[in-house]
Homo-oligomer: A and B are copies of this chain.
Amino acid sequence: TSQKHQDFVAEPMGESLAGIGEVLGKKLEERGFDKAYVVLGQFLVLKKDEDLFQGVAKGHIGANAKQSWD
């Protein structure tokens, strides 16, 4: 992987989620995903299975395909 990728991966993920704006952020918070790392945790518990994870994203917050992909 590139140095850029390594730098990105090495830094703490902080509290922001790419692709999630105000409205979806609110919906996520209401369902307990009030920190970016909780969303990451859900992805990991689903074994990084993108279909399953998108199922959760759509089910929980009605994210559309693009948003859940982001």
Q: Mark contacts of A28-70 with chain B using CB atoms, 8 A cut-off: 1 yes-contact digit, 0 otherwise.
A: 0000000101101111111110000000000000000000000
A18 at the interface (CB under 8 A from B): no
Tell me the A residues contacting B by CB distance below 8 Å: 9-10, 12, 35, 37-38, 40-48
Show 11 A/B contacts (Cβ-Cβ < 8 Å), sorted by A: A10-B10, A35-B47, A37-B44, A38-B44, A38-B47, A40-B41, A40-B44, A41-B41, A41-B42, A42-B45, A45-B45
User: Complex: how many Å from CA A9 to CA B48?
Assistant: 20
Contact of A41 among B10, B12, B35, B44 (CB under 8 A): B44
Closest chain B CB from A12 CB (angstroms): 8
